Structure 1
């Protein structure tokens, strides 16, 4: 349950009250021709009352009002009409007696006209209400933004938790194939895998990593895959990077490289190849991967695996300016990823 007094919320009303005091002083000095200190005393005394009443109205009464209990709502409405008119008049009268609300009213009047009080209290109540609505709206948007960020962070973590085991599963399959054939390359494969595992455990926990480190892990993965093939496999990996310390999300590029080997050259019987080119210039990343594949009589549509699907979703969450295009002529498959790294969300 919300407490009656919240110091953080009350500060908002105090600042709004200060604004009303400033406007009141201008009115009293220029229109009523009062002295500055007299106007200051009058305005502080009257605004203190309005600040407290409006704080209770907007922070306690309105949030707890249930319009289904119509009679209670009517009673609350009448109460606040009294507080903004007769109650405000009595407060002004008290200030006159204490000599802090000089010449605001004449206490001897038996039939005091409340229009002077209401012309001050009602607009002030509207002003407090508008300020409260604006503050609540800004706070609500901030909370929604925080929830959106937390949701995106959780989803990115989930996507990584899917991608990393998927990547390891494919690599372990490679090692199993070598071990089954009693290949002398199995120990070297395990050694390279350990380097990749170390990278994934200690370097990919943060949101960014230097592009130079990402290049190393891509190179290790390519070397690991090449152990499975003979000299017939042609791999061309080159890059043009303006700044090796440029930050990128870890393992973001790996699904395209992995896809080229697992769904490309591993299924190619004649002259398998993989061409990889990475360019990062003026914070614009272009990653091109082309690989051989067996000719298919399908309808030409690309069925995306978990790696490519996760990559697309990560791009949606991370950047506002990017494109991922896939091309699949007769015996080839190519992917082109373009990212404006400055468009990070």
Structure 2
């Protein structure tokens, strides 16, 4: 694809990540949103794209006309299909599907999208098989033209760049990760029945701090095979609607100081990882990181070392918007997959 051509995007799954990605796409002239699929009615799709309690009212005009979504007058084909095999994407000339449904977590389950006309699929979650996984800013330049890939999880997008820096400079022996994570749609608004195996999910997300096991250690471990079995993660859900604060406790192999670690993190955020990492010493709280575009913002004053080898790093992330930004970034990389024009 030539760089002056728009990348044609189809979103399968129009929840929090899918709608955040749509908002980001609409602000980038590199893309054209051509289709959306989800299992709720079209009026709600249009309404929830236009109005968002966390991110505000979309500046673009949004309307419906006979099952077609019009954004600033440009048509977006809508579907309400459970089975991807029932959607004809050939007529839409789809370059990249953003698979944001959370329901198709293997290469095989995404093949119908390719068979129906999509050139590539990016899954916005860790996979349950050996589907190749890429994180923008970490290993996206190693992309091997696979038609179906994963962009891993929001947590991995925040943690992996930081671990790459620390492992490269000091070596990592083991790590424990705590994520003070905003509540999600999978939690209950009020106490009530829940279909999760974890009974704590029955409790109200707006009234409780709810600790849950997390897949972040496994998702992060994909990039650090030498740390297999040496990482643990938990997600501590807190009663706010957006952002996550990461507390990463890392046992390192080389003695260092807080000053040296912060200098390295700041330098890397300004150079090799300038597009995806930021660092700050300013005393902000979670509200200030809503709609922040970075994968992680290191909170430099909270860096600490205990003894000779136990390092703590803290970082903020808008786990929806920041992750959706990376999803769109990697879609651009795949769309312009010729190395001469890739970002």
Higher relative CO (Cα under 8 Å, sequence separation at least 6) belongs to 2
Structure of higher CA gyration radius = 1
TM-score by length of 2: 0.24
TM-score by length of 1: 0.24
Higher strand share goes to which structure? Answer: 2
Higher helix share goes to which structure? Answer: 1
